[in-house]
Amino acid sequence: MKRTLEPHELIERSIIKKFRKTIWNPFTLAVRQYHLIQPGDRIAVCISGGKDSMLMAKLMQLLQRYSEVPFEVVFLVMDPGYNEINRNKIESNAALLHIPITVFETDVFEVANNSEKNPCYLCARMRRGYLYSKAQSLGCNKIALGHHFNDVIETTVMSMFYGSQMQAMLPKLHSTNFEGMELIRPLYCIHEEDILAWKQYNDLEFIQCACRFTENCTMCDNGGGSKRQEVKILLRRLRRDNPNIERSIFNSIHSVNLDMMPGYKTGGVLHSFLENYDGHAGENR
């Protein structure tokens, strides 16, 4: 008699079978292509409670199970001051997915929400710092965050439109404040629409933006007033005329021609075309 699969087993099967081409394959591609995991790594998989980080946790759990490369994972949940509903939702989803989470509390929301200057920026920096610190105390050498393909594209466009620079979101990054620690992004090649399809197929419900500061305003990513949301809408419009627009942007950050850039930064130092320009149009020393 055929055994009835548990809910978490059905969810795992959907990743390996139904969503193999759109989720599992892009995930393993990113791990291989960007050399995100090495033998002996101990990785803190950081779970915020949203769809992206929860899927990442499940993917990392499956990879550890099937991979020939030996590595360890810790499923880390930082509670920055969630309300009771969101905290319970994260814990119940972790139980449903059979993800053994380690939870620790911080006062991030309280501190950031009382800041007069850019509370969102302060919140993000504090979150990252707490995650690095806790992961390091647990013997981890890496933290994994759930940024996906669309986050990469939107961040690149936002840096041009609002930051006046060409800057992409890297698949891995060495920490300058926590020696020996590295940040990796295993969902780097996975599209958000495919994460949503997986979520809907399995009838899963995750928390949205949980920040208390943004509960009654439109500044968070799910609100109508954020710059990221504006960029999402713009890219959606551009996609009507060019369905490959996002792939083109993604490919462009992998093929930067510095010889055709009038200025670029390396190690925080600006190298500018103007340094060698004598003031006469068309003449370059």
The pTM of this model reads: 0.88
Strands 172-174 and 269-272 come out as unpaired
Strands (E), 47-146: 72-79, 101-105, 142-144
CA distances from 160 to 73, 154, 157, 232 (A): 35, 10, 5, 14
Q: How far is CA 271 from CA 154, 156, 275, 277, 284, in A?
A: 26, 20, 8, 12, 15
Q: Are 143 and 173 in contact (CB under 8 A)?
A: no
Host H or E run for residue 183: strand 182-184
Decide if pLDDT at 274 tops 80.
Answer: no
Is residue 277 predicted with pLDDT exceeding 60? no
Q: According to the model, what pLDDT value does residue 226 have?
A: 79
Closest of 174, 131, 167 to residue 152, by C-alpha: 167
Structure tokens at 52: 């992206």
Compute the average pLDDT of residues 187-202: 98
Extract the tokens encoding 111: 């501190």
3-state secondary structure of 8: helix
Measured between alpha carbons, how far is 271 from 13 in angstroms, rounded to an integer?
51
Report the C-alpha gap between 190 and 250 in whole angstroms.
12
Among the ranges given (15-24, 197-206, 256-265), the one the predictor scored with the smallest mean pLDDT:
256-265
Largest Cα–Cα distance in the chain? 84
- Average the pLDDT over 184-203 and give the result: 98
- CB count within 10 Å of CB 114 equals 10
Distances 190 to 21, 27, 148 between C-alpha atoms, Å: 10, 7, 6
- What would the two tokens of residue 224 be? 């109508």
pLDDT tens digits, one per residue of 14-68: 999 999 999 999 999 999 999 999 999 999 999 999 999 999 999 999 999 999 9
Residue 40 is encoded by which pair of tokens?
Answer: 């002996």
**CA torsion through residues 143, 206, 148, 198, sign:** positive
pLDDT tens-digit map of 122-132? 888 888 999 99
Calpha distance 208→220 (Å, rounded): 10
Phi-psi region of 123 (alpha: psi -120 to 50; beta: other; left: phi over 0): alpha
Q: 104-118, 156-170, 217-231: which has the minimum mean pLDDT?
A: 217-231
- The H-or-E segment that residue 116 falls in is none
The helix or strand, by DSSP H or E, that contains position 266, with its residue range, turns out to be strand 263-266
> Alpha carbon 154 to chain centroid distance?
12
At 211 the pLDDT is: 60
Given a cut of 90, whether residue 192 has pLDDT beyond it is yes
Q: Render pLDDT for 97-129 as a digit per residue (tens, 0 to 9).
A: 999 999 999 988 888 777 767 777 788 888 899
Question: Which of 104, 99, 182, 174 lies closest to 136 in space, CA to CA?
Answer: 182
